[in-house]
Copies of this chain bind each other. A is one copy, B any other.
Amino acid sequence: MSAADGPLPVVTTERPDGQGAFLIVCEHASNHFPEAFGALGLPEAARHAHIAWDPGALALARRLSEALDATLVSAGVSRLVYDLNRPPHAPGAMAAQSEVYEIPGNEGIGPDERLRRTETIYLPFHRALHDTIARRLAQGRRTVMVTVHSFTPVYFGQPRAVELGIIHDADPAFAKAVLAEAQARTALLCRMNEPYSAADGVTHTLRLQATPYGLAHVMLEIRNDLLADDSAVAGVATELAPVLSAALSAMTQTQTEKAAS
């Protein structure tokens, strides 16, 4: 769970032969700063803060992957080096400022450095994810994309009440089903498109990888104080895995009824 774990590959695929319909994605899994890019002038505290990664997200994604027999694609580089949920021309892809932190190593970087990070981080990650999706589609396998994120409970000094944010790109069908099941089956304070939404530019992965293929999808945002240790993560996973399964069943039934009527 820290940069001390040593170098990680840009992209890791776990449970590649998982038979479940879900394809789980974790773009902000790691706060690793590869040697090729350095620590961007950040003190250690900043490199461990939520600006560098989504604490707890990978642990949760792994437990969901296990519970749902789902392939998991995760990234091994801090979002501050390249935020994989942003396109290469977005300022936030290599942000010079994140919440109250300045990122010295991202200030004033030019086209060459942006190209280098795009080629070494963005392209390999999204290529691996796209390959996985295209192969599943070629084989006629159902694919529902679930991206797993966590958010900070206090942002610019303001506490956030929402515990589970359920966010969608163009097609809200699966997100609506997830919200209904989460409200029915858990005690979590759930909100649609909070603490932010597609309009804030946070659905790049879904827009690039799920929407063009018409894949059902959802982005889960869990408040990171609910993922503080392994036992907390296990508890959230135990709540969310059946939510996802039930939501898929409910959406499938609705679609079947619509098709028949």
**Chain A residues in contact with chain B, CB under 8 A?**
87-89, 111, 114-115, 117-119, 122-123, 126-127, 130-131, 134-135, 137-140, 204, 207-208, 211-213
Contact = CB atoms under 8 A, between A and B. Distances in A.
Contacts of A126: 130, 134
The prevalent SS among residues of A at the interface is helix
Contacts of A118: 134-135, 137-138
Given A127-B127, A208-B212, A211-B212, A87 B137 contact: yes
A154 B57 CA distance: 56
A58 B208 CA distance: 27
Contacts of A123: 130-131, 134
20 contacts: A87-B134, A88-B134, A88-B135, A88-B137, A88-B138, A89-B137, A89-B213, A111-B138, A114-B138, A115-B135, A117-B138, A118-B137, A119-B135, A119-B138, A122-B134, A122-B138, A126-B130, A130-B130, A207-B212, A211-B212
Contacts of A212: 87, 204, 207-208, 211-212
Contacts of A122: 134, 138
Given A127-B127, A208-B212, A114 B139 contact: yes
